[in-house]
Structure 1
Amino acid sequence: MNTDAVRGHLDGMLLAVLEQGPLHGYGIIEALHQRSGGALDLPTGTVYPALRRLERAGWIDGVWSVVGGRKRRTYTLSRAGRRELAARRSEWIRFSGVVGSVLGGTT
């Protein structure tokens, strides 16, 4: 699946992945890949800028740590991020229902 197909939904998916607990950037990419059954194979150039945007918005918190001699930034979902995730889920349910009605092929 190309990155254009997830445009507008990436932030919500990142928040959803972090709902399970703290992850570093690569772990987030792997979780998206696994949870999508391999359909999402997003490049770091798509995910890392989105993580920085979510952090600036106050929806996630990031802390630096050293793991195996490498610096990594680990992200967690903030309280504001949990509220935003709930709003995005509600929006997705409405949106997917409308698109399903239109593309479903029934009249």
Structure 2
Amino acid sequence: MGKQATEMLKGVLEGIVLALLSRRPAHGYEITGWLRDQGFNDIAEGTIYALLIRIEQRGLVDVEKVPSEKGPPRKVYAINTAGRDYLNEFWRTWSFLAERLEQLHQGER
């Protein structure tokens, strides 16, 4: 992924993570793995963990510590009502921007 794509992704990564958590609870390593499976190979685990801390502090997720077979308990993040409200707003904003960008793109042809 190029520098431009990485910069654009940073702007929407919070929405992407909340969308993933709306499907099912997950811990940071799972989220990073899913992103990499989708081709977002330049996303560092540290970026995801910092984002998870931010959305936890903002009250958008609930956190449960779950025992791990490989060391200390893992934090499992689950989207809550405030997070769903935020995600709904994210999708409204995304739709607005995507429509306008598509209009611009079509105008270039």
* TM-based fold match above 0.5: yes
Distance 1:5 1:84 in 2: 19
Which residue pairs with 2:98 in the alignment? 96
- Give 1:104 shift: 3.1
Secondary structure, aligned partner of 1:93: helix
* Count of residues in correspondence between the two structures: 104
Distance 1:27 1:104 in 2: 37
Runs of 4+ in structure 1 deviating by more than 6 angstroms, as ranges, are none
Distance 1:33 1:19 in 2: 18
Which residue pairs with 2:53 in the alignment? 52
- Give 1:69 shift: 3.7
Distance 1:33 1:97 in 2: 27
Secondary structure, aligned partner of 1:62: strand
Instruction: List gaps (5 residues or longer) in structure 2.
Output: none
1:89 aligned partner, one-letter code: W
Give per-residue Cα distances to partners, 1:41-99, cap 9 Å, x unaligned.
Answer: 21112111111000011111122222104221110001110111111011101111111
Distance 1:28 1:81 in 2: 16
- Give 1:105 shift: 4.5
Which residue pairs with 1:21 in the alignment? 24
Instruction: List gaps (5 residues or longer) in structure 1.
Output: none
What is the RMSD computed on CA atoms of the aligned residues?
Answer: 1.6
Higher helix share: 2
2:49 aligned partner, one-letter code: Y
Q: 1:87 aligns with which of 80, 83, 89?
A: 89
